[in-house]
Structure 1
Amino acid sequence: MTLICAIAMQGAAQVPVSNPISIRVDLAEPQGPYKPIYGWFGYDESNYTTMKYGKQLLTELHDLSPGPVYIRAHHLLTSGNGVAELKWSSSNVYTLDANGKPVYDFTITDQTFDAFQKAGVRPMVELGFMPKDLAATVTGVNEYQVHFPKNTVSGASNNPPKDYAAWSELIRKYTEHLVQRYGKEQVRTWYFEVWNEPDIGYWHGTPEEYFKLYDYSVAGIRAALPNAIVGGPASTGPTSDRASAFLDDFLKHCLNDKSAANGGAIPLDFISFHPKGRPTVVDGHVQMGLANELKAVENGFRIVATYPKYIKLPIILSEADPEGCAACSMKMNPSNAYRNGPLYPTYTAAAIKALFDLQDRYKVNLISMLSWSFEFEGKDYFEGFRTLATNGVDKPVLNVFRMAGLMSGERVSTSSTGQVSLDDILSAGVKQTPDVDAIATKAEHEAAVMLWNYHDDDVPAVGVEVQVTITGIPPTVKRVLLEHYRIDGSHSNSYTAWKEMGSPQTPTEAQYAKLKAAGQLELLGSPEWLDVSGGKITISTELPRQATSLMHLKW
């Protein structure tokens, strides 16, 4: 009986309910600029940048957006042999010779940044972690690097420097080298971020010692490139009192104190922190924690908004994800099973709109929701890491970023009879009725509507019929071309294709080609020309649970 019920529910998931959801889009009612907050990505293992599938994926990330795509990576300054492991990489940029004199080696650094350049992406230069010869209190053979799944941040690579002036000189030399190799005008467009999550185990010093590190880092950067873009603190999402206080105290330090490095004012060009969700397993299924991520964002925006000097500074959510460990596969954490299928992109679509709404509410300047997801070389297909691709095969989540890249111009007004309000999501998540909602944009000669049917609980459920009414089309336009893209169980979904072919770990050449094709963003049907009447059109579609659509209009 249990099996029969399960099969019946799977079938029911494709049957729309009788009462359609009405979504209205008014192109004549702008809501603010649509900024490419989606065009930012990052990963722990900086050495994956130069590997086969890493280089391939960087090119794909460049191609998903008309504007710059930024890449942030850990371990740009860590000592080691340049071989990646889970949650570990190295550049060996700094050592001391037999006489205790610094030796700077940019060989691995150049390979990493050259790969960024070749792919056409821009680095977000995260200054971390501490070189072994500069780290305070390194003793014992195994105290610098700790191997995953042990607590990798417990090693001395996360120690403060034993000499802050030497650290500042390293940063000056590092920045100077980047400027010499890639040009002042290009490096001027990069973002330099000091460290990663210094409010938790990634930093083994006090908050005050991090503020000192920030001062000496910025002094080193600006000595080599006076107009470099600098910021931080890259702290965790401010949901706890500790994390909130850290972000607040950092802003107070930059506003009120003098630089420990030179006694001058403390530069701050952007503010960064890391909101995360919290999925769990409930009654045998994954339940997402969208509310947790959005609460962290709201608290961070609220803190920034209390500082008139900083309220308009760019805010970079330099890790913004459904949870906190990209390298923890679903084998390790069953709650991470959301990562392979259409739930992950639908969660991301709902988060994009909520982030813009929170930005508008607090009147701050959000420019990035950086997805801490890339790829892992040499792992099983669809092992359940938080990745954009697996063995060179794009996963469904990459396609929601491709959808976002097709949107441009101004955000415009949307309303939905199936919407779960932002305040309700913040207070209780999406655990009762699904969130059937949309975000829309208008640019010259085009418009786009992204819509989704999202629920925190990943269980079979009936789909919905949606009627999307778009008004405000220019009066001279009589016909528009509709391109309707879809991510769901059977579209833009390499995971479904992989399972249908028997989940091979050594796919044949023909199977691999099929998987590659299935990983691309797919049209739901052929493009079609629609007649416009009175500046209005209505489009009907069936939207399964955990599905995302993009209706792209051209005229």
Structure 2
Amino acid sequence: MTEPIKVSTTIHADQPTEPYHPLWNWFGYDEPNYTYSPHGKKLLKELTELSNTAPHIRTHNLLTSGDGVAALKWGSTNAYSEDADGNPVYDWTIMDQIFDAYMEAGNIPLVQIGFMPEALSDFQGEYKHHWAPADPYATIMTGWAVPPNNLKKWGDLVYAWARHMADRYGEEKVSTWPWEVWNEPDGLYWHGTIPEFCEMYDVSAKAVRRALPNARVGGPHTCGAFSNPKAQKFLREFLQYVVDHKSPLDFIAFHAKGNPVIWKDHVRMGVHKQLRDIETNLDIINEFPTLSHLPVVIGESDPEGCAACSARVHPQNGYRNGPLYSVYVVESMLRTYELAKLKNIHIEGAVTWAFLFDDQAWYDGFRDLATNGVDKAVLNGFRMLGKLGGDWLSTQSSHRRDLQEIMEHGVRGEPDVNVVATRDDKGISVLVWHYHDDDEAGPDAEVSIAIDGWGDRKASLKHFRMDETHSNSFGVWKAMGKPENPQGADYAKLEASGQLAQIEDVASVAVNGGKIELRTTLPRQGVSLLRLDW
């Protein structure tokens, strides 16, 4: 039997460092028509309940033409068409269903201006794609991924849309929503040039501002820049255009993706690649001193690039159903805070590109937060992040891996057994996690948690856990024999297992000289949240 790793951690309860903000509380997906399905509405409400801060929700295809029927990597609203004389026809029926669902759930839209309606597209070929996970990714890029054939009509559409949102939900509310232009124009999502994109951005941003003078607009949502000269060139030229033309820009957006692979007989994650993408983009932004004060939104920040690419077809995506995805989110998000501080840039949000896929088999290996209405383990990682709040506290861990080392080599060999903590007016929250890139068995971590600076007040403890046997509906489903269509009591059991498990509830914890000593055994790929109240 492998000996456990001995880990010592320290939390200084009387040493706040800076305010905490939940940059992780942003989510997105390709398929807007899943938004208002029963499972979609349920999940949106759960995202709101993650913390005391409303989540931001980003989705593609809000201006795409079509019948409003969802499909993998496809969605549509048919908001824009033209009559026989070429005059614009606006129809907000499907759009309203989407945004009504956000308002009902208490979400904040990150409104994406895209993609190109069919009537404004001169693409020679099919407009709607027909894609399955085994197909080449590039086949999704059809007539919606082109520049507008009439910039004035495009600008008028954006203006009309923004005014409709204001009329329906109130200008004051809608003006607080961030508005963004397009998605990954340096990649396959834009069949135009960089100057054409910059011109389209300028027209779009000014149309939003004309409709909503106090709204925030941003872009360009370029792809991960590490080892990607095209993405680096695009971001630099876009930012230079903004400087030269004084285009409206209130936040800068880019994407960051990891790189999981099959290593020998198991999945090996690539968190180093995701962090390198973030670092490279922040370094480019710092080349523009008149813009580096702007906040950043990482519009997609994920273990890899394609949420709809099932693990059945792409086995390197086999991390998605169980605890590894959850602990990876914790690792990558908390390291993102470190990078922001290191580069002196405020990262406002980091979007997890995962939602749900209706009408798919249970645990079919998609990058989603829930399957058939049952929450996956990853959502419980977010639930624990949601219990942080107030101010960061000073902490140490004997097995905290160095950020630069992780960006060079990943988390191989020794695991990252790390701790962060926050303090609010009722107590402190301590988050401990045990991460390794390799999805294979490894020793547990025996973690001692020393809290000083507590004072002479009493303390109570609630301990929450996500690992292979806690807060992991996938493990329960496997133990059931992987039923294809769970019903009744089985469904209820799965639904309950998708919630965050509490493993300790102690009314009175010993406090000696203002210090508290706790211990826990944390399995590999496990996460614990310990809440201590005064």
Shared fold by TM > 0.5? yes
The answer to whether the 8 Å contact 2:158/2:204 transfers is: yes
The alignment partner of 1:370 has SS state of strand
The aligned counterpart of 2:191 is 204
Q: Distance in 2 between matches of 1:452 and 1:291?
A: 17
Corresponding residue for residue 214 of structure 2? 227
Letter in 1 for 2:238: F
Q: Secondary structure at the match of 2:486?
A: coil
Q: Determine the C-alpha separation between the residues in 2 that align with 1:25 and 1:248.
A: 41
Q: Hey, what does 2:123 align to over in structure 1?
A: 138
Q: For residue 8 of structure 1, what is the aligned residue in structure 2?
A: none
Give the root-mean-square deviation of aligned CA atoms: 1.3
User: What does residue 522 of structure 2 align with?
Assistant: 543
Q: CA deviation at 1:144?
A: 4.3
SS of the aligned residue for 1:339 comes to coil
Q: Which of 179, 184, 187 is 1:192 aligned to?
A: 179
- Corresponding residue number in structure 2 for 1:404: 385
Task: Give the letter aligned to residue 202 of structure 2.
Answer: D
Matched with 2:283 is 302
Q: Deviations over 1:45-85 (max 9, x none)?
A: 00000111011100111111201211000000000000010
**Would you say the 8 A contact 1:87–1:152 is kept in 2?**
no
Question: Any unmatched runs of 5+ in structure 2?
Answer: none
The answer as to whether partners of 2:131 and 2:140 remain within 8 angstroms in 1 is no
Following superposition of structure 1 onto structure 2, how do residues 26-37 of structure 1 map, counting pairs within 5 Å?
Answer: 26-37=12-23
The runs of 5 or more residues in structure 1 that have no matched partner are 1-11, 259-264
Q: Is it true that 1:526 corresponds to 2:505 in the alignment?
A: yes
What residue is the counterpart of 1:118 in the other structure? 104
Counterpart in the other structure of 1:182: 169
Matching of residue 42 in structure 1 with residue 28 in structure 2: yes
What is residue 510 of structure 1 aligned with on the other side?
Answer: 489
CA-CA distance at 1:130 after TM superposition: 0.2
Which of residues 50, 75, 82 is equivalent to 1:64?
A: 50
Structure 1 pair 215–460 and aligned structure 2 pair: CA distance change class (3 A): same
Match of 2:205 in 1: 218
1:247 maps to 235
Q: CA deviation at 1:414?
A: 1.5
Closer, same or farther: CA 308–30 of 1 in aligned 2, 3 Å: farther
Shift of 1:143: 4.2
SS in 2 for 1:66: coil
Q: Secondary structure at the match of 1:247?
A: helix
Instruction: Return the offset for 1:146.
Output: 4.3
Secondary structure at 1:47 match in 2: helix
Counterpart Cα distance in 1 of 2:210 and 2:130:
34
Asked if 1:378 corresponds to 2:364, the answer is no
CA contact (8 A) 2:461 2:504 kept: no
- Asked if 2 retains the 8 angstrom alpha-carbon contact of 1:16 and 1:544, the reply is no
Counterpart in the other structure of 1:280 = 261
Preserved contact between residue 146 and residue 154 of structure 1 (Cα < 8 Å): no
| 3-state SS, counterpart of residue 430 of structure 2 | strand
Counterpart amino acid of residue 39 in structure 1: N
How far apart are the structure 2 equivalents of 1:61 and 1:321?
Answer: 17
| SS in structure 2 at match of 1:268 | coil
Conservation of the 8 A alpha-carbon contact between 2:456 and 2:513:
no
Q: Which of 157, 167, 174 lines up with 1:170 in the alignment?
A: 157
- For residues 16 and 467 of structure 1, do their structure 2 counterparts lie closer, same or farther at Cα, with a shift above 3 Å needed? farther
| Counterpart secondary structure, 1:83 | coil
Write the deviation string for residues 241-268 of structure 1: whole angstroms up to 9, x where unpaired: 2212211221111112x2xxxxxx3111
Q: Corresponding residue for 1:5?
A: none
In structure 1, distance between residues paired with 2:231 and 2:11: 38
- TM-score with structure 2 length normalisation? 0.97
Go from structure 1 to structure 2 and tell me whether the alpha carbon gap of 1:133 and 1:204 turns closer, same or farther (over 3 Å shift). same
C-alpha contact (below 8 Å) 2:118/2:127 kept by paired residues? no
- The residue identity in structure 1 corresponding to 2:327 is T
Tell me how far apart the structure 2 counterparts of residues 25 and 186 of structure 1 sit (CA, whole Å). Answer: 39
Q: Distance in 2 between matches of 1:242 and 1:78?
A: 26
The CA deviation string for residues 497-545 of structure 1, in whole angstroms up to 9 with x for no partner, is: 1011111011130000000000000112233421222221111000111
The residue that corresponds to 1:261 in the other structure is: none
Q: CA deviation at 1:31?
A: 3.0
> What residue is the counterpart of 2:39 in the other structure?
53
Deviates more, 1:439-448 or 1:327-336: 439-448
Q: 1:471-509: per-residue Cα shift (whole Å, max 9, x none)?
A: 222x242x2111111000110110111011111011130
Contact 1:138 1:144 in 2 (8 A): no
Match of 1:432 among 413, 438, 460: 413
Deviations 1:382-430 (A, max 9, x none): 1110000000000000001111111001111121111111011010000
Counterpart position of 2:348: 367
CA contact (8 A) 2:431 2:529 kept: yes
1:156 to 116, 126, 143: 143
Please list every run of at least 4 consecutive aligned residues from structure 1 whose deviation after the TM superposition is greater than 4 angstroms: none
Letter of the aligned partner of 1:248 in structure 2? R
Paired with 1:144 and 1:384, the residues of 2 have a C-alpha distance of 25
Contact 1:354 / 1:422 at 8 angstroms: preserved in 2? yes
Counterpart for residue 84 of structure 2: 98
Counterpart for residue 78 of structure 1: 64
Shift of residue 197, structure 1, vs aligned partner:
0.4
Secondary structure of 1:158's match?
coil
Distance in 1 between residues matched to 2:354 and 2:499, nearest whole Å? 17
